[in-house]
Amino acid sequence: MGDKKTKTRDQIDQYYKWNIETMYPNEADWDKDYTRAMEEAQVYGKYSGRLGESAATLLEAFQEKDRIWQIAEKVYVYARMRRDEDNRVTKYQAMADKCHTMLAKISACMSFFTPELLDVPKEALLRFIQAENGLKIYEYVILDMLREKEHVLSKAEENLLAQMSEVTSATNDIYTLLNNADMKFGTMIDEDGDEVEVTHGRYISFMESYDRRVRKEAFEHMYGAYKALINTISTTYNYNTKTDVIGARIRKYDSALGAALSSDNIPKEVYHNLIDVVNKNLPILHKYMQLRKELLGVDELHMYDVYVPLIEVPNKKVSYEEALDIMREGLAPLGEDYCGRMNKGIADGWIDVYENEGKTSGAYSFGSYDSMPFILLNYSEKLKDVFTIVHEMGHSMHSNYTRETQPFVYGGHSIFTAEVASTVNESLLMQHLLHKETDINMRKYILNLYIEEFRTTLFRQTMFAEFELMTHEAVERGDVLTAEWLCEEYGKLNKKYFGDAIADDEDIKYEWARIPHFYNAFYVYKYATGYSAATAIADKILKEGPQARDRYISFLRTGESNYPIELLKIAGVDMSKAEPIEMAMKTFEALVNEFESLVR
């Protein structure tokens, strides 16, 4: 793949394409399944008003619901992946569009199910589970719905809230348009001497530029734009936070945090432990920042200096075949069964490797319950691409084990657990590369890469989580989130996290205004907890061997058959306690100490 011109899909060897034909060898069968899902959803209403009549009827309603969704999922996944191969093909655009209509119609046909099930007395449902063996599979689903029952309102109230949701989601829409469509960040001269527009996409590469003038100007352009609109953005965020707080009160939760954690049944201690342990370990981050200042040789370290790589990237190409070999070596601690399945998956055509014209960018793992897991890549022969393959393979192997073991109803994964499976793989690869690397510059590069992963995932996301907690608690106290308060508190938080090595950058206090995740509250902490859990699991696998590995494989088989905290305990990690985060912090400290010993 040496030439520069992007190939068309038909110019790429079949060996490097996924074997999607295994889903529908004949596309006429796709049409049949589409029609079948739509028709069967239309008659699903026959169960309306009957869920409480008998255990047998309830079981039949559950099974039929799963069966329809299983067909619909396969139909959707196939069309979506076909479109992603080349987004210019109108046939697959149309098929994917048809699927959105299908999914909406099926949801509407089944919307009676949850409220009606919750109308059946709890005692009757428990009797049904005892009486009908087939309902044992659905016991966890039923009990989980009952757990949330006290927060479900009457049908009339739920209907009102549903109608109001278009209004209550307005703040998110306003911010999205403001941030992505209306805001302009001006133009500047880049490192090649060309005048370019500053955009969200370019900003990241500007921050990694070795030209300090470029970093500084991009930083000033970016935050100057947010400063100019800070009152509008603060008002939008204030009302977004108020919506969370009022919504939680209406549904009888004790706080907005409690409401957000409830769907995964996550104890509040998980959130607080994360913030407390990270805060206790901030001196290690401060030490790294001091080291960064010394290595960059600057009198003052500014916030626009924190993303530039400290070690120049060794310019080494990694062919796809080499990448697979590196992955096999790195994931060897996961054992013969894991590696055997993975190798079979590669041979069977799980992976779509190279970029082609019209192909969806980035990377993902996808698939339906009864298909192979598939991996979309845009492989470009860089070391970071090897990490991408390993990451997506973690997701695909999670799906492979789960779908083999769990019924359809538990065949997916929550975000809380899904990111663990991908990050364990990255962690194992990182440790493998460090273990075998003899070239001192390459070793420094890998260490710095790993340290930055920790800083941006664990520390940064926890700082965001702390900010969200602060803003919601302020509104719950009856305070108003003014621009002045938000910027001042965020500025203090940033100073606390980065320490004294960082100069006082006035503009960084506006950073909160450019984080879209804040409009989906109490979400970012999952990146930090997932990273901590994965670091702890990878550590156990490497130190304890087969016993820890087998526990982890058992976890991969569980899907969504229990709450995330309970499932992670199977892998030997209890996220309701502080220990996994403390273990991750020890790993971070060891990395910083080794990096320091190599560069000083």
Residue 127 contacts by C-beta under 8 Å, 6 or more apart in sequence?
Answer: 55
How far is the C-alpha of 189 from the C-alpha of 538, rounded, in Å?
A: 44
Q: Where are the beta strands (DSSP E) in 77-141?
A: none
Q: Give the burial class of 536: count Cβ atoms within 10 A of its Cβ; 0-12 exposed, 13-18 middle, 19 or more buried.
A: buried
Q: Print the SS3 string covering 363-377.
A: CEEECCCCCCCEEEC
Nearest Cα to Cα of residue 444 among 455, 433, 457: 433
Q: Where are the beta strands (DSSP E) in 348-412?
A: 351-352, 364-366, 374-376
Residues marked active site are found at 392
DSSP for 527-584, please give it.
Answer: HHHHHHHHHHHHHHHHHHTHHHHHHHHHHHT-TTSS-HHHHHHHTT--TTSSHHHHHH
Question: Do the beta carbons of residue 398 and residue 537 sit within 8 Å?
Answer: no
The first and second tokens of residue 359, run together, are 């192909």
How far is the C-alpha of 266 from the C-alpha of 261, rounded, in Å?
A: 5
Nearest Cα to Cα of residue 369 among 340, 409, 341, 337: 409
Neighbours of 452 (CB within 10 A): 15
Residue 1 contacts by C-beta under 8 Å, 6 or more apart in sequence?
Answer: 7, 354, 381
Neighbours of 223 (CB within 10 A): 23
Q: Where are the beta strands (DSSP E) in 363-428?
A: 364-366, 374-376
**438 by DSSP, 3-state: which?**
coil
Identity of the residue numbered 511: E
DSSP for 199-261, please give it.
Answer: -HHHHHHHHT-S-HHHHHHHHHHHHHHHHHTHHHHHHHHHHHHHHHHHHHHHTT-SSHHHHHH
Distance of CA 58 to the CA centre of its chain: 34
Strands 374-376 and 195-197: unpaired
The CA-CA-CA angle for residues 546, 551, 556, to 5°, reads 120
